[in-house]
Amino acid sequence: MIDERKQHILQAVIQDYIASAEPVGSRTLARKYDLGVSPATIRNEMADLEMLGYLEHIHTSSGRIPSSKGYRLYVDSLLPVQPMTDQEKAVIDKWYKTKVQRIDQVFQETAKLISKMTKNVSLVLAPQISKAAFRCMQFLPLDDHRVIAVLMTDAGFVENRIMEMPDGSTFEDFQRMAKVANGHLAGHTLEKIHTKSLKQIEAVIGDSGLYNSALDLISNALTSDRKERLYLGGTTELMAQPEFHDVNKVKEILLMLEEDQLMKDIIRSHLGDGLTVSIGQENEYSGIKDCSIITATYHLDGELLGSLAVLGPTRMEYGRTMSLLNYMNQNLNEVVKRLNW
């Protein structure tokens, strides 16, 4: 374990680098921070820290920058507590009191708020719709051979989808089905419907051939690709960061962010209890080797529902971001609980 003075120096280097985005030299450090030793001593210590892998060197005569390992130690043990200011909390609280017009706005606006306050990209993974309790469904006729299925969960999430009607079926069949489904399935989570109440419904409906093919359609449509929605925020904030002053880098990361599935996988792979920080090289996906991701998860009754994440350069204000994410997470948790998702 490295001694206390080294820790102080490492902490100072990282804080300075986070603030300035410039490699940090021994003289600067001695001047700005009250370390009580001369630049020469700091130089020696920094050389040691480099040997140990906590700092890096671009070239012989430039200051040090933190390595992933350095950030890791910083985040794990050296992070100064940075609670949110009352003002910041007020901004957030105020937003959560305004009324939304659709449930998904909660998530979209949460993403915007996070990115605005952290100046980084934010990602919000909404709860899987299949975890929500089924409230009711309805079919609306679109044309001769297509209907639109509209489904609502207890939380107020409304999903609609165009469905082809199986040959020989009529719109009335669908209506009948909806009626039975609404009677029998209300309150069950979508993911459990398949295994649970289907038998009952089958018994009631009788006409099982049509029924089966239609039900397949429904369950496919409603639990397929879009089961968790990803809301993005702050893709333009990114460009204010000096590490993204190169258009190609920006393009690369924006293209990555557009790939819904990839981003979901990345977030999911990082999830843990509470806040998780994944720093630079620690990331498995090579496109973000010089980025860090902080994730937070929200639960209901112990079950994981969704998560929030901030993606930014490794040179990130970890303390502030973590506090913020934590606070937003609590808020979102409450909203979800209130909606009885």
Partner DNA sequence: TGTTAGCACTCCACTTCACTGAGTGCTAAC
Partner DNA sequence: GTTAGCACTCAGTGAAGTGGAGTGCTAACA
Could you list the residues that contact a copy of itself (CB under 8 A)?
A: 99-103, 135-136, 138, 140, 142, 148, 150, 152, 156, 158, 160-162, 164, 221, 235-236, 239-240, 244-248, 250-251, 254-255, 258
Smallest separation, CB 299 to DNA (Å): 45
Choice between 178 and 309, CB closer to a copy of itself: 178
The site partner of 1 among DNA, a copy of itself, none (C-beta below 5 to 8 Å per kind) is none
Smallest separation, CB 184 to a copy of itself (Å): 17
The site partner of 250 among DNA, a copy of itself, none (C-beta below 5 to 8 Å per kind) is a copy of itself
Smallest separation, CB 196 to a copy of itself (Å): 22
Question: Where on the chain is the footprint of DNA (CB under 7 A)?
Answer: 5, 23-28, 36-41, 43-44, 46-47, 50, 57-64
Smallest separation, CB 204 to a copy of itself (Å): 23
Rounded Cα distance, 279 and 312, in Å: 10
The site partner of 251 among DNA, a copy of itself, none (C-beta below 5 to 8 Å per kind) is a copy of itself
Rg over CA atoms, the chain: 26
Choice between 203 and 255, CB closer to a copy of itself: 255
Smallest separation, CB 6 to a copy of itself (Å): 37
Using an 8 Å Cβ cutoff, are 213 and 158 in contact?
A: no
Smallest separation, CB 41 to DNA (Å): 3
The site partner of 84 among a copy of itself, DNA, none (C-beta below 5 to 8 Å per kind) is none
Using an 8 Å Cβ cutoff, are 272 and 80 in contact?
A: no
Smallest separation, CB 73 to DNA (Å): 19
SS3 109: helix
Choice between 67 and 189, CB closer to DNA: 67
The site partner of 19 among a copy of itself, DNA, none (C-beta below 5 to 8 Å per kind) is none
Rounded Cα distance, 242 and 264, in Å: 26
Q: For residue 144, how many C-alpha atoms fall within 13 Å in the half-sphere facing its CB? A: 2
Using an 8 Å Cβ cutoff, are 191 and 150 in contact?
A: no
Provide CB contacts within 8 A for 106, sequence distance 6+.
100, 332, 335
Rounded Cα distance, 63 and 302, in Å: 47
Which tokens is 5 given? 């003075």
Q: In what order do the strands lie in the sheet with 303-313?
A: 230-233, 121-125, 303-313, 291-300, 276-279
The site partner of 221 among a copy of itself, DNA, none (C-beta below 5 to 8 Å per kind) is a copy of itself
Rounded Cα distance, 137 and 180, in Å: 10
SS3 19: helix
DSSP bridge pairs for 312: 292
Choice between 65 and 129, CB closer to DNA: 65
Tokens 């934590």, located at residue: 326
Choice between 41 and 223, CB closer to DNA: 41
